Chain A
C-alpha cells in the first residue's frame, strides 16, 4: 500500500514539475524587461551625418625614372605579397618609394595620428613624437591627436612645418582594461566632432612605441590593418581570438586570415569612423552581457577585420616587438615597442 502511494506520489511530482517548468519557459518571455544597463546610451553619433573633406582624385604621375617591373621574376618570396582578397601586404621591396611619392605628394594630403597617453603612459609621448617627427609621413601635413587625462604632462616637442599637435583631454578610468576598450569610442567620437574636417587619412597607434625607419605613403589605403608580430607565422587555430560563443568578438575555430595587432590600424577617415563605431558597438554589447573579450578591443578589431576585410595589410615591419629576434624575412623594422615594465605602468 505504501509503495503504491509512493509510486503515485512520485509520478505526480514529476508531472507537476514538468508542467511548471514548461509554463515557466513561456511565461519568461512575457515578463516585462526591467534591466536597462545605465552605460548603454544611445549616443547622437548614430544620427550624425559627417561632411568629409572631398575625395582627392589622383593626378597624372610626373615622369620619374625607375626600373621596369619584371613580370616573370623568380625571386624567393618569404613574405606573402597579396592576400586572397587581393589586398597588398606592404613590406620592404614590394614598392617603389619614389614612385609612390610622385603619386601621393601632389594630392596635398593631411594625415592624422591618434595616440592615447593616460596616467603614467604620458612618459612615452616625448620619445614617440620625436621619432614620429623623424620618420612618420615625411613631407606631408600631419595632425597628431594626443588623448590624455593630464594635458600638462604632455611635453613640448618641436614640430616640423605643416605638422601640428592637438591635445584632447579625456576621462581616466580605474582599470587599464577599461581605458583600453574606451579607445574605440573616443576615436569615433573625435572623428565625428573634429577629425573628419581636418584630415584625409587617420592612423590609430599605441603610444609605448617608437618609429625606427621611414613610414610613408605606402601605408595609405581605404582600410589598413597591421599583422601582429607574435602571430604572423602561426596557424589560425593558435590565434588568441575570443573563443567564447557569448561574446560578439567570437571567432570560430576554422576562421580567420591573419591576427591583426590592435596597436596599429587606420585608413581613410570615413572608413576608420565606420570601423571604430562598429567595434565600439560590439564592445557595448559585450558589456551588456557582462563579458570582456580576451584581448579587449584587439579581439573586437580582429572580429571586425574578418567580416570587413582590410584593403591593405601592413607586414610586421610596421608593428614589431623589439624583444623578438628580427627574422631575415623582415628587412626594415619601422615601428616597434619600447621596452617597458608593464606592472609599474598599470598601477
Chain B
C-alpha cells in the first residue's frame, strides 16, 4: 500500500522523468550520428570482417593497400606520414608520389628523342615525385684518379657531397693507383667511400682507354651486389648544381657541350673504317660525352665490356680511336640507344663555351687544369 501511495503521489513526475529519459536517449543517438568520426566507426566496423580475412594471409603487404577499411586494423604506418599533410587522400601511396606536380613546360628545346628517351633539362621534371619513386635506391659513383689526377679529388668529392644525389644512399668508388693520397672528406649519412687500387699506364691515352676495362671488371666483382645504378664521371670536374635521380635509368649518356647543336657530319666520331668505333657520315643521333655516363649495373657492364673488347681488337689492328674511349662509347650508344639523354647542363666547360639562354643551370663543370703538367709522369 505504501508503494502505491508513493507511486500515486508522484506518478506524474515519474512518468515525466521516464519520458524525459527516453527523449534524451533519442537525442544522444542522433547527435552522435552527425559527428563524422562516429559514422566512420560504424562503416569501418562492418568492413572489419573483410580485413580480417585478408590479414590472416601472409600477404600483409597487400593489406596495406586496403587502408581504407579501418585505420586501426591495417598497417598504420602507411598513414602516419599523412596525418600532418592536409587533403592528400589516404591509401597505399607514399606521400610524395601522389604529390601534385608543378612543372612549367619547356618549348625551346627537344624534350624526347625519337626512341622515347627523355632529354633531361631543367624544368622538365618534378624532383619530389622522382625522389619518392627512387627512394630505396643506392647509387655508385665511379671516378678515376690516376697519378697526378688525385689532386682533383678533394674538390670533386666536396661538391659531390653538396649536389650529387642528396638524400639517397651513395657509394663513391675511387679507382686510383695512389690510395694514400685520397683525401678524407666528411661524408653525410648514407654515403661512403670505397678506394679500389688499380694499376697505372705510362701513356695518358692508355689510362683513359683502360677505364672501360676496369669498370667492367669491378662491375661483376663488386658493383652488382652493392649498388643499383652506376654513374661514371671524370675527376677533373666539379658539381655546381643539383644532380639527382632524374638522371637514373637503364642506360644514359650526356650530350657533349661542344656538339649539341651540330649536324651529324661534324661530330668527331671515328671516321676510319678500320676501327671498331667507325661511324659513317650519314649516321649518328648525338655526340655523347665520355665524361658522364651510366645506368643500371647490368647495362653499364654490357657497355664497358663491349667497349673494352672493341678497343682490344683495335689495338690488335694497330689503330687507336681518335677520341679514345669516347669514340667507342659513341659507337655503342648509337646502336644500343640510351633510355635517357642528359642535356649539356650535365657536362659543361665555362671557359671554353659561352652559356646559351636555354641552358638554365650548370650542374657539372670542368675545373681549369694545365694539360701538359697534369698528364706528365
Q: Which of A10-45 contact B (CB under 8 A)?
A: 10, 13-14, 16-18, 20-21, 28, 33-37, 40, 42
Residues of A within 8 A of B57 (CB): 42, 46-47
From residue A114, how far is it (CB to closest CB) to chain B in Å? 23
The 3 closest A-B pairs by CB, nearest first: A307-B93, A288-B50, A84-B101
Q: Are B113 and A69 in contact (CB under 8 A)?
A: yes
Closest chain B residue, CB of each to CB of A58: B336
Task: Given the known inter-chain contacts A85-B130, A307-B93, please indicate yes or no for A5 contacting B47, CB distance below 8 A.
Answer: no
Q: How far is the CA of A37 from the CA of B29 in the complex (A)?
A: 27
Q: Are A285 and B69 in contact (CB under 8 A)?
A: yes
Give B residues with C-beta under 8 Å from A: 13, 16-17, 20-21, 24-25, 27-28, 32, 40-41, 43, 45-54, 56-59, 62, 65-66, 68-69, 87-94, 97-98, 100-101, 103, 105, 107-116, 118-120, 124-126, 129-130, 133, 246, 255, 260-261, 263-264, 282-286, 334-337, 340, 358
Q: Is A198 at the interface (CB under 8 A from chain B)?
A: no
Residues of B within 8 A of A76 (CB): 107
From residue B86, how far is it (CB to closest CB) to chain A in Å? 9
Interface of chain A, main secondary structure: loop
Task: Given the known inter-chain contacts A5-B13, A71-B261, A72-B109, please indicate yes or no for A257 contacting B87, CB distance below 8 A.
Answer: no
Q: Are B49 and A99 in contact (CB under 8 A)?
A: no
Task: Given the known inter-chain contacts A68-B264, A68-B284, A71-B260, please indicate yes or no for A248 contacting B255, CB distance below 8 A.
Answer: no
Q: Are A17 and B113 in contact (CB under 8 A)?
A: no
Q: Are B100 and A254 in contact (CB under 8 A)?
A: yes
* Chain A 78-111 interface mask (CB, 8 Å, partner B; 1/0): 0011101110101000111001100100000000
Give A residues with C-beta under 8 Å from B: 2, 5-6, 9-10, 13-14, 16-18, 20-21, 28, 33-37, 40, 42, 46-47, 58, 60-61, 63, 65-66, 68-74, 76-77, 80-82, 84-86, 88, 90, 94-96, 99-100, 103, 218, 236, 245-248, 250-257, 278, 281-282, 284-286, 288-290, 303, 306-307, 309, 312
Q: How far is the CA of A42 from the CA of B58 in the complex (A)?
A: 11
10 contacts between A and B (CB under 8 A): A13-B21, A20-B25, A33-B48, A36-B53, A40-B49, A72-B261, A72-B358, A84-B126, A252-B88, A281-B65
Q: How far is the CA of A77 from the CA of B110 in the complex (A)?
A: 10
Partner among B69, B107, B111 whose Cβ is within 8 Å of the Cβ of A288 = B69
Residues of B within 8 A of A103 (CB): 115, 337
Given contacts A33-B49, A40-B54, A42-B54, 20 further A-B contacts (CB under 8 A): A61-B337, A68-B284, A68-B285, A72-B108, A72-B260, A72-B358, A73-B110, A74-B108, A82-B124, A86-B246, A86-B340, A88-B112, A95-B114, A248-B68, A251-B89, A255-B100, A285-B69, A288-B50, A289-B43, A290-B46
Closest chain A residue, CB of each to CB of B246: A86
From residue B119, how far is it (CB to closest CB) to chain A in Å? 8
Q: How far is the CA of A61 from the CA of B16 in the complex (A)?
A: 92
Tell which of B90, B112, B263, B358 has the most Cβ of chain A within 10 Å: B112
Q: How far is the CA of A163 from the CA of B178 in the complex (A)?
A: 61
From residue B229, how far is it (CB to closest CB) to chain A in Å? 15
Q: How far is the CA of A61 from the CA of B340 in the complex (A)?
A: 16
Residues of B within 8 A of A47 (CB): 57-59
Q: How far is the CA of A14 from the CA of B336 in the complex (A)?
A: 79
Residues of B within 8 A of A312 (CB): 116
Q: How far is the CA of A74 from the CA of B116 in the complex (A)?
A: 19
Residues of B within 8 A of A251 (CB): 89
Q: Are A255 and B108 in contact (CB under 8 A)?
A: no
From residue B9, how far is it (CB to closest CB) to chain A in Å? 12
Partner among B28, B69, B98, B263 whose Cβ is within 8 Å of the Cβ of A21 = B28
From residue A42, how far is it (CB to closest CB) to chain B in Å? 6
From residue A283, how far is it (CB to closest CB) to chain B in Å? 11
Closest chain A residue, CB of each to CB of B44: A289
Partner among A71, A77, A246 whose Cβ is within 8 Å of the Cβ of B43 = A246
Tell which of B56, B89, B335 has the most Cβ of chain A within 10 Å: B89
Residues of B within 8 A of A80 (CB): 105
From residue B265, how far is it (CB to closest CB) to chain A in Å? 9
Q: How far is the CA of A20 from the CA of B27 in the complex (A)?
A: 13
From residue A138, how far is it (CB to closest CB) to chain B in Å? 19
Q: Are A257 and B59 in contact (CB under 8 A)?
A: no
Closest chain B residue, CB of each to CB of A68: B264
Residues of B within 8 A of A68 (CB): 263-264, 284-285
Q: How far is the CA of A306 from the CA of B260 in the complex (A)?
A: 35
Closest chain A residue, CB of each to CB of B103: A84
Q: Are B24 and A257 in contact (CB under 8 A)?
A: no
